[in-house]
Structure 1
Amino acid sequence: MTTTTELDARTPGLNLGSDVLYLSKQNVLDLAISRAEIIGYTRDALVEHGHQRYEMPAKIGVHPYPEVFFHAMPAYVPGKNAVGCKWIECYPNNPAKFGLPQTTGLMVINDVESGVPVAIMDSTWVTAMRTPAVTVLAAAKLHPGAETFGMFGCGVQGKEHVRYAAEALPDLKTVYVYDNREAAADALIAELQGQVPFTLVKGESIEAVVKSSEVLSSATVILKEPLAAVKDKWVSAGQTILPCDLNTFWDPKTTKRADKYIVDSIEEHELFANMGYFPGGLPTIVAEIGEVIADVKLGRENSDQLIVNSNIGMAVCDVVVGRAIYDRAIAQRIGTTLAL
């Protein structure tokens, strides 16, 4: 039987059951965890998910206003010694109304052996990092050798998608970016062009980006009624579409006619459909992306297949990344110890 002294030896400076480590966003940044490392942690989480070695109930939430949600996202991944919960909220009007991010939140990491909370951390950085990690891992698996990529949305997620594409998609030559706020696209290109090994191009229109790109992703807003900003007639055979915004940005006709509709979590997509986010009905799901990355199920089988892979975020990725953050913070003695 593990004793308290042995448990404390694993977490120097932290008395389990009496203390909890608080990590601000700056604390997490100070740990200097690379994007390549985040991709590795995220791949590990997806493989565990693909092999069904996890526990993760579908998100539960509350909705103070019609356009917003708060979600509780717990998960346990035995193979990574990771258990915890993210409490995240999405307020699409925050940037314009208050000058605040649309997504904010906190994450709690627990000790698997004793159950006690060991860390509380800002979850916006974790979300910003693991979301594009899933996209580029999926893109590399579903569309190897892609030379063109289109990104809709040039905010925090858009920028990170471009940075992560540079880490995981070595054949990219051109990335097209588009935002309905033209200044946001200009700012992304000005900031990142010197940091990535491919050419960044501001899309002239949504249609032009779609028709120029083999792989496409969107990180815009999440709404119940589809915007259908991308018209189905613009989408061609052989493309790979990777939305991070549910059924919002793309014409539902496209997801319905895709040769393969893949999701990160079937249970969570069914939950969102029951909440009204797929008013025309959820497309037929053929696999979860973890299954494809773990080689449990096939992804792309020929170059003409149109594939849509909807990834809305899974707690298994959050807690695996969160556990890695906590372990490094303990090793580097970073963070603030608070009394429970």
Structure 2
Amino acid sequence: MGTDSKAKRPGLQLIAAKAIRNILQGNAEEIEQLVTRTYQAHHQQQTVNPDSYFLRFPDSDRNRIIALPAAIATPELQVSGIKWIASYPANLSKGLERASAVIILNDAETGYPFAVMEGAQISAMRTAASAVLGADHCSNLGRRATSVAFVGGGLISRNILNQFCGRGWQIGKVCCHDLNPDSATALAKHAADSCGLAAHPGSLEQALDAEIVVFATSAMAPYLPEGFQFSPGQTVLNVSLRDLAPQQILTAQNVFDDVDHCLKAQTSPHLAEIQSGGRDFVSGALTQVIDGTVRLTDNKPVIYSPFGMGILDVALASFVYAKAMAQGETLQVPDFFGKVS
């Protein structure tokens, strides 16, 4: 990733959505392995992952733009970068995607940005890979589930479903729930048409009964009834982080991509920490489950809560950059950086 310090002033590579889509498709296993290595590097202190910065607006409590800076310094990869991602839920009613993003990669030696790319697909893909990695290791199912339910029928759920299929999961049936019935129907149709799965729209109650329950909504606060409890053996992928009441967190085994990052910003686990006054409900990090230092049981449900770390965006963006350069799928801006006099 480095640039020769004696070379001419570096240019900038632009990578657009179509090229990124082509690179991401068909690489589910390689991308999941990349996510695993990135998490392991993080827990070996080979990364820098500051808190995300949320730009909010006084006239809208739902719109936000989030900055996720990160750096990776492993023998295989030395790079820094940032994802700048906007979430505007009302975009859906305008025929636009809720989220739009760019990712910038910076050279580790000079600090110069060397790539700018469309980021929403990368963000969705790393989220999906992290979620399915959690399902692989936090469930005791051997990639065979009688039922998987999605609460939230948007882009993230679609990517997670694709990742399940790409990783060879055998799924009996899929239930799709969304406050917008059209979104639930569209996700069910995608599951049937693209993955060959038996899928149907369903109620929240039906979704909550599935063997694996995926939450991928834009909820800002918990809405599940406080008295509801998941069953022993159920696996919950708490991707959107704010759907569950503290009571559901406190009565489950809880696994995180990073505990400190997830227990803040009024996430459901953060609310559970506030209510309980401690972190006794924390089982550990996903890397600890993978390496066997944390063992899960079938006596309680397992809730995996991935905060969504900038290191994943930087790692996957670097993967995309290398593939795009090799395939000639970038647009070079050779004189982007001028000499400052």
For the superposition of Structure 1 and Structure 2, which TM-score range results when normalised by the shorter chain? 0.7 to 0.9
Any conservation in 2 of the 1:141–1:299 contact (CA below 8 Å)? Answer: no
How many residues align? The count is: 322
Q: Do structure 1's residue 287 and structure 2's residue 280 form an aligned pair?
A: no
Q: Give the whole-Å Cα distance in 2 for the aligned partners of 1:200 and 1:109.
A: 39
Which residue number corresponds to residue 256 of structure 2? Answer: 263
Alignment partner of 1:43 out of 36, 40, 65: 36
Deviation of 1:278 after TM superposition, in Å, equals 3.4
Task: Specify the SS of the correspondent of 2:195.
Answer: coil
Q: Give the whole-Å Cα distance in 2 for the aligned partners of 1:217 and 1:115.
A: 38
Which residue number corresponds to residue 12 of structure 1? Answer: none
Any conservation in 2 of the 1:49–1:290 contact (CA below 8 Å)? Answer: no
Q: Give the whole-Å Cα distance in 1 for the aligned partners of 2:157 and 2:189.
A: 14
Which residue number corresponds to residue 243 of structure 1? Answer: 238
Any conservation in 1 of the 2:85–2:100 contact (CA below 8 Å)? Answer: yes
Where does structure 2 lack aligned partners over 5 or more consecutive residues? none
Task: Specify the SS of the correspondent of 1:273.
Answer: coil
Alignment partner of 2:18 out of 26, 29, 46: 26
1:38-117 counterparts in 2 under 5 A?
A: 38-64=31-57, 65-79=60-74, 80-96=77-93, 98-117=94-113
Task: Specify the SS of the correspondent of 2:264.
Answer: helix
Compared CA separation, residues 152 and 32, structure 1 to 2 (3 A)? closer
Any conservation in 2 of the 1:49–1:291 contact (CA below 8 Å)? Answer: no
**Matching residue's letter, 2:163:** Y
Any conservation in 2 of the 1:70–1:90 contact (CA below 8 Å)? Answer: yes
Task: Specify the SS of the correspondent of 1:236.
Answer: coil
Deviation of 1:299 after TM superposition, in Å, equals 4.3
Alignment partner of 1:141 out of 137, 141, 148: 137
Task: Specify the SS of the correspondent of 1:193.
Answer: helix
Any conservation in 2 of the 1:273–1:279 contact (CA below 8 Å)? Answer: no
Which residue number corresponds to residue 304 of structure 1? Answer: 299
Any conservation in 2 of the 1:50–1:289 contact (CA below 8 Å)? Answer: no
Task: Specify the SS of the correspondent of 1:286.
Answer: strand
Which residue number corresponds to residue 160 of structure 2? Answer: 161
Compared CA separation, residues 184 and 273, structure 1 to 2 (3 A)? closer
Which residue number corresponds to residue 182 of structure 1? Answer: 181
Q: Deviations over 1:158-187 (max 9, x none)?
A: 111111111235343222222222222222
Mean Cα deviation higher: 232-241 or 113-122 = 232-241
Q: Deviations over 1:188-228 (max 9, x none)?
A: 2223314325432332x1112212x11111111141x3222
Q: Do structure 1's residue 128 and structure 2's residue 124 form an aligned pair?
A: yes
Alignment partner of 1:332 out of 312, 327, 330: 327
Q: Give the whole-Å Cα distance in 1 for the aligned partners of 2:107 and 2:292.
A: 30
1:148-227 counterparts in 2 under 5 A?
A: 148-168=147-167, 170-196=169-195, 198-203=197-202, 205-211=203-209, 213-223=210-220, 225-227=221-223
Mean Cα deviation higher: 164-173 or 85-94 = 164-173
Q: Deviations over 1:230-261 (max 9, x none)?
A: 664252122111111112x2233101221x22
Deviation of 1:4 after TM superposition, in Å, equals 3.5
Any conservation in 2 of the 1:51–1:296 contact (CA below 8 Å)? Answer: no
Alignment RMSD: 2.7
Where does structure 1 lack aligned partners over 5 or more consecutive residues? 9-14
Alignment partner of 1:252 out of 246, 254, 279: 246
Deviation of 1:277 after TM superposition, in Å, equals 7.3
Compared CA separation, residues 113 and 291, structure 1 to 2 (3 A)? farther
Compared CA separation, residues 305 and 144, structure 1 to 2 (3 A)? same
Any conservation in 2 of the 1:86–1:106 contact (CA below 8 Å)? Answer: yes
Normalising by structure 1, what TM-score? 0.85
Task: Specify the SS of the correspondent of 2:184.
Answer: helix
Compared CA separation, residues 31 and 243, structure 1 to 2 (3 A)? same
Deviation of 1:74 after TM superposition, in Å, equals 1.2
**Matching residue's letter, 1:168:** R
